[in-house]
Amino acid sequence: MPSRKTPRLINRPVQQRSRDTHDAIVLAFRQALATTPYDQITVADIASEASTSVGGFYARFSSKEALLLPLIEDMTTDFQTKLVSALDEVDRKNGRLADVVSAYVRTMLTEFRKHGRVIQQVFRSATGDVAAAVGECVHEFNQTVHEQFRTRAWARKKEIHHRSPRAAIEIALFMGSATAREAVNGGNWRSYAIQPDDATIAREITAALLAYLAVT
């Protein structure tokens, strides 16, 4: 889901060979960012790992920081695909709202666990136009995946006994997304007496959301 600001930051390739180099650069950067702080990664390192030159890098990206945008685009696209697939599977099985909530929470946890470190570095490192473009990309992602959950939850509104079902769905979305994101940050559990695994976290978040929605 490219941002409106993308053309100023990235020279999108047309020819296959150039696309391959573009993808190799993004992959090299992503792999580096998973283990190395952003400030310690150099353009020369990225270019070398991608088997291109520094000039080849700057022919495609305006700066190292511009690489944060395709990185977040790729992650949100993958995230969205996984979530839609999980929710579609619930529909195919004529699942109840509990199944929708469970699929949403489990996918959120899995994807935040998979991408969490890189996402944190993206938001810490992006500034100016890059930060604005990243923010727009994430906003579009949130709108899309929230609508996926919202539509399915409302189709099962008879199971919701909260006094305000529409508002409750929105609050449940906020609570579920925020809790799943924070739950996979290991540092957040240091002050608690338990260190739950993801299966336990998913089960308990799901139970809490269903209780809030007053699902029967």
Query: What does the pLDDT read at residue 131?
Result: 92
Which pTM was predicted? 0.85
Question: Per residue in 52-65, pLDDT tens?
Answer: 999 999 999 999 99
Instruction: Indicate the helix (H) or strand (E) that contains 175.
Output: helix 165-183
Query: What is the Cα–Cα distance from 122 to 143, expressed in whole angstroms?
Result: 20
Token pair, residue 24, equals: 């190799």
Backbone angles phi, psi at 10, to 5 degrees: -135, 135
Query: For the structural domain made of 67-213, what CATH number should be given?
Result: 1.10.357.10
Asked if residue 39 has pLDDT above 80, the reply is yes
Count CB-CB contacts under 10 A for residue 179.
17
Query: What is the Cα–Cα distance from 179 to 133, expressed in whole angstroms?
Result: 25
Question: Per residue in 112-122, pLDDT tens?
Answer: 988 888 888 88
**pLDDT band at 89, cuts 50/70/90?**
very high
Domain boundaries defined on the chain: 6-64, 67-213
Query: What is the Cα–Cα distance from 216 to 160, expressed in whole angstroms?
Result: 7
**pLDDT band at 4, cuts 50/70/90?**
very low
Query: What does the pLDDT read at residue 34?
Result: 81
Query: What does the pLDDT read at residue 1?
Result: 45
**pLDDT band at 186, cuts 50/70/90?**
low
Question: Per residue in 124-150, pLDDT tens?
Answer: 898 999 999 999 999 999 999 999 999
DSSP codes, 103-133? HHHHHHHHHHHHHHHHHHHHHHH--HHHHHH
Fold for the domain defined by 6-64: Arc Repressor Mutant, subunit A (1.10.10)
